Amino acid sequence: MQRFFVLAILILLGWLAYRLSPILSPFLIAGILAYLGNPLVTRLQRYRINRTWGTTLVFVLVILVLAGITMALLPVIRHQSLLFVEYLRQYLELLQTRIIPQLSARIGIPLDSQSLTHYATANAQKLAGWLGRSLQMALSSGPSLISSVLSIILVPVLGFYLLRDWPRLIARIAALIPPHYLPLSRRLAGDADAMLMAFLRGQLLVMLALGASYAIGLSIVGLKTAILVGLVAGLLSFVPYLGVVSGIAMATLAMYVQTGAFLPILGVLIVFGIGQILESMVFTPYLVGDRIGLHPVAVIFAVLAGGELFGFSGLLLALPVTAVLIALLRHLHGWYVQSRYYLGKES
């Protein structure tokens, strides 16, 4: 009977998470930030700093760092974003006046550029109309806009209170576990915590290292939108191959429009090739480690499944939940290979 009660509680919690997923994003982001900041605040407590003051110091430090990075990068990102949009416009013109005629001549199949242009123009007008209506709906939807602004404001507020009261919250959760399950629960929670913390910190560091590597390498080969492309590729690298594919596409387009030749694109490919070598041989082994063991297929499936089931909240939870499940599955595998059924000792 107790097992059915626990199962019913878990099903109810899953249903509530599914129904409330549109409003869970600020709480999840705040929870992740509090989880990452908890070890630093705990370390400050060792120097006899009150938990509230330690939380305040950590938040002030994070805000100062983020403000400094934003002030330093925002003008550059804005300039390069406008430049990339201009490159995109020029590329569409080159596609019509040069690339399509050359492709038609090489393959021997006539491509009617006027029809393609008419088709592109018609669809561009439809897209512009759709974007205009969407923008009008967004601006006229006061509650949605206010909700989005409140969600952004809520993240640091929720993060502060969660970080300050983190030990108390963990103690209350532990108090709900039956005493005879506490040793097992603590062992499982410890392993899951170690894997999750290593994964989150390591993945963030890998994203930063890849973004910086791409930006520096593309700057060396002369790409004028190097920082923008490196930032996008680094941020998207949490999904295997998404960052590198997006970065190559953006950098190739920008380099071709910038130089008007195909040879400089070779430098772009070399930069991303070196980045992939650094990721697989340096960044991931040293920053994430081999104990995480998240296969690329599992990562892609987790991100797609999380986004499909819970929207943006699912995207936030996909990889952390997968890391925790892998830790639990390793324990389950250990129990299975030591079971009487696996060893063939059942009578």
Q: How far apart are CA 289 and CA 278, in angstroms?
A: 14
Backbone φ and ψ of 46, nearest 5°: -65, -25
| Residue 108, token pair as written in the block | 């021997």
Per residue in 169-205, pLDDT tens?
A: 988 888 888 788 788 788 888 877 877 787 788 888 8
| Residue 210, token pair as written in the block | 């890849």
**pLDDT for residue 108 is more than 70:** no
**pLDDT for residue 139 is more than 50:** no
**pLDDT for residue 135 is more than 60:** no
Per-residue pLDDT band for 141 (boundaries 50, 70, 90) equals very low
Cα 24-77-317 angle, rounded to 5 deg: 20
Q: Among 84-93, 99-108, 134-143, 208-217, which is the least confidently predicted range?
A: 134-143
Per residue in 214-223, pLDDT tens?
A: 999 999 999 9
Residues recorded for the chain: 347
The model scores a pTM over 0.95: no
SS3 89: helix
Q: How far apart are CA 210 and CA 235, in angstroms?
A: 9
Q: How far apart are CA 93 and CA 199, in angstroms?
A: 44
pLDDT, mean over the chain: 79
Q: Which of 215, 218, 217 is nearest to 232 (CA)?
A: 215
The pLDDT, as a whole number, for residue 230 is 94
The pLDDT, as a whole number, for residue 173 is 84
- For residues 229 and 247, is the Cβ–Cβ distance under 8 A? yes
| Residue 184, token pair as written in the block | 């097992």
61-99 per-residue burial string, b: 16 or more CB within 10 A, e: under 16: ebeeeeeeeeeeeeeebeebeebbeebeebeeeeeeeee
Q: How far apart are CA 246 and CA 264, in angstroms?
A: 18
- For residues 346 and 59, is the Cβ–Cβ distance under 8 A? no
| Residue 238, token pair as written in the block | 């949490």
Q: Which residues does 29 contact at the CB level (< 8 Å), separation at least 6?
A: 155, 159, 316
The pLDDT, as a whole number, for residue 162 is 92
Per residue in 119-128, pLDDT tens?
A: 555 555 555 5
Tracing tokens 């009008």 back to the chain, one arrives at 136
The pLDDT, as a whole number, for residue 140 is 47
Residue 295 is given by DSSP the state -
